[in-house]
Amino acid sequence: MSKQEQHWEKTRNLLFITLAIWFVFSIGIFFFATEMNASSIKPFGYPLTYWFTCQGSLGIFVILIFWFAGRQEKIDEEFGFTEREDD
Amino acid sequence: MIKGKFIDNLPKIYGIYTGGFLGFIILMAIAEGAGMSAKMIGIFFVAFTVFIYALIGYLSRTLQVDAYYVAGRQVPTVFNGMATAADWMSGASFVAMAGGIYFKGYGYMALLVGWTGGYVLVASLLAPYLRKFGCYTVPDFIGTRYGGNLARLSAVIVLTVASFTYVTAQINATGTIASVALDIPFNIAVYVGLASILMCSMLGGMRAVTWTQVAQYIVLIIAYLIPVFWISNKIGAGFFPHFMLADEVARIAELEGQFGFVKNSASDLATVPKGLAGITKAHSDVNTTPWKFISLAVCMMAGTASLPHVMMRYFTTPSVKAARRSVGWSLFFIFLLYSSAPMLATLSKLSLMDPNLPTGIIGKSIADVQAIDWYQNWNQANLMFVSDFNGNGTLELNEFFMGGKAVVLATPEVAGLPYVISGLVAAGGMAAAMSTADGLVLAISNALSHDIYYKIINPKAETAKRLIVARVLLVIIGFAGATIAALEIQGILGSVIWAFDFAMSGLFFPLVLGVWWKRANAQGAVAGMLLGLASGTAYLVWVRNGGAGFWGVTQLTFGIVGSLVSLISMIVVSLLTKAPDSATQKMVDEVRIPSGKTVLGKQH
């Protein structure tokens, strides 16, 4: 496998992990909205589903993007595909 | 004070700007204390901020193609994040979203999840690759990746339909604010809004829009957060509302139980002015059908990743790496406002509902409420209404009506904050709507001038002529948008949601598969864009005219139908026709790695 193919395979795997986390917190948990809201876990005292929609999921997305960017930069570095600063 | 290049001094320049703006707020507060009228404060706030944006627009004027289209590709990561946040957060986010949550509770919070989750798709599927491509516009990518004028043209059609739907809503929002703040009729205010929008973008294109958007973000975030914190502290709800409103959310549920949701009869509702709504849904209770919530969130997420005015902001960063990080910063800046919207809705609702608070009006006598100053103001603007349906003389929960856009704009007044805060909020709403309208008008006119005029009609046109065409188109599109906005066909939030569905129907899969599926070819992409847009539109028209619909897809989520048709037709047609040639395949390989030259040259 060429260097470029390996790079793309790693990139694709990172995408799948990122999208899996994204799916859980943007779609997955909301199938269980009623159950979650009734649960005794109450972040800052808010009902759980309410908290996820107004803070939890949003915050997780922010962190997820920065984490993704960091991982992708590492992959690019590993295969020498990082941009030169003067580009 | 400022030495060297503008780009190197950004933190200093915007630091001074922020300080100046805070100084202006204090000055206005002093003026209010000295007896300046509420009307004058409103006029000062809107006029002063719009003047500053216009000044930035003028100072950023340019005669260079890459500065006009992509701000010279030198916008630093964090500042591009701020500009994107302003570009993104429109009148719908600033003026209408808290209102939607206020009336419909949890169901509308799907917008919060959808409008933020979409950025994960932007960062991982598209933005870095499109930046590497080096295009000026989104159709530029489609046209070059798939090849052929038909693909380019189809992309321009989808872009125009989606962005134009969106921009009418934004001009509507600027018109609403200008008409309330400056006290002029709505259909004139719409053109005042338009003039301010054009002043920012006409001379400097993307470069001017970038630097005004950063300035607008600063104004809008200050204007959104100050009232939230202030009201929360004033009613003793907590010093940091985001972490401390749990009791208030519970209290609203308690009051809702006490007042009950009485359903008004059709004849009673007929007396309520058009566009106003009452509270009919519980604040924090979840719907029993998760699909309704999830389908709306899905449409908003896929729409985010297909809206050209957002995507083109990531063409302006210096590198692919910066584009990726910039998406994270964008979402961070958006998060600051979005996590506050439900808090504002909660505080606003409680201020009106709780009989223990001095501002509570539910349960008071109708005559008393009608005598309140702010009620008279907003009633006059046709944004608030009470009526004694059951004839008992007291105001019940089901007898109070408000326009969705009034929730954010009126809350400071309702909660008894000084008028300077209302003026500030008006300026913030204006900033939000203007910044988005600027991005959209520019996206449309750039697509028409670059992709239709330069790439298809007259490839030999010299720079000066291209930029003149771009500016003329900008003005024409702005006027067309304002004319339609003046007709008020659909509310702000409704039009914005439609725009996302249109974009998702036609562009989501052609963009994503362009990077992630080498086998996708021009025929497939054209089929995907045109059939997707056509089927989505057909479904919308069908449901609007009383059609039953299927799978629980409503007129707000028709993008699900459109994008599925788009995906299937794109795959089927691509596989039935010839694979893309080796040059195209190589181009896709090239896009997938950050290093090396962009696919399209610096000037093209």
Residues B49-81: pLDDT tens digits? 989 998 988 888 888 888 888 888 889 999 999
Question: Does the pLDDT of residue B1 top 70, yes or no?
Answer: no
Domain boundaries, chain A: 3-78
* Average pLDDT estimate for B242-260: 81
Check if A5 contacts B (Cβ < 8 Å). Answer: no
Instruction: Tell me, yes or no, if B552 comes closer than 8 A to chain A by beta carbon.
Output: no
Q: How many CB pairs under 8 A join A and B?
A: 147
The structure tokens listed for A54 are: 């107004």
Q: Is the pLDDT of residue A84 over 90?
A: no
Complete DSSP assignment for A18-53: HHHHHHHHHTGGGGGHHHHHHSS--GGGS-HHHHII
| Average pLDDT over every residue of A23-31 | 91
Sorting pLDDT into bands at 50, 70 and 90, what band is B37?
Answer: confident
Q: Which of A25-39, B14-28, B31-45, B545-559 has the largest mean confidence?
A: B14-28
pLDDT digits (tens, 9 = 90+) for B202-248: 888 888 899 999 999 999 999 999 999 998 888 877 888 888 787 88
Taking alpha carbons only, the member of B306, B314, B311, B312 closest to residue B509 is: B306
To the nearest whole angstrom, how far is the Cα of B566 from the nearest Cα of chain A?
A: 21
CB contact under 8 A, A58 and B113: yes
Of the two residues B329 and B92, the one the predictor is more confident about is B329
Question: Which among B119, B245, B290 has CB closest to A65?
Answer: B119
Q: Hunting for tokens 């009470």 — which residue is that?
A: B386
C-beta of residue B17 within 8 angstroms of C-beta of residue B56: no
pLDDT score at B6: 78
B502/B536 Cα distance (integer angstroms): 7
| Per-residue pLDDT tens over the stretch B356-402 | 888 888 888 888 888 888 888 888 878 888 888 888 888 888 888 88
> pLDDT-based confidence at B527, cuts 50/70/90?
very high
Cβ-based neighbours of B490, under 8 Å, separated by 6 or more: B169, B498
Residue range B450-478: mean pLDDT, rounded: 84
Q: What is the reported pTM?
A: 0.91
- Phi and psi at residue A49, to the nearest 5°: -65, -40
B595 touches chain A (CB under 8 A): yes
Residue contact A81–B594, C-beta within 8 A: yes
Q: What is the DSSP string of B16-43?
A: HHHHHHHHHHHHHHHHHHTT--HHHHHH
Residue B483 amino acid letter? T
Q: Which residue among A32, A44, A68 places its CB closest to the CB of B243?
A: A44
Residues 6+ apart with CB under 8 A from A86: none
Give the nearest chain B residue to A82 (CA atoms).
B595
pLDDT value at residue A86: 46
More confident residue, B489 or B99: B99
Amino acid symbol at B62: T
Q: How confident is the model at residue B175 (pLDDT cuts 50, 70, 90)?
A: confident
- Among residues 332-371 of chain B, which lie with CB inside 8 Å of chain A? 332, 335, 338-339, 341-343
**CATH class of the structural domain B7-61+69-263+276-351+416-591:** mainly alpha
CA distance B514 to B143: 11
Distance CA A78, CA B509 (A): 30
For B327, which of A26, A47, A65 is closest by C-beta distance? A65
> The tokens of B127 are what?
């933005």
Domain locations along chain B = 7-61+69-263+276-351+416-591
Contact B128 A72 (CB under 8 A): yes
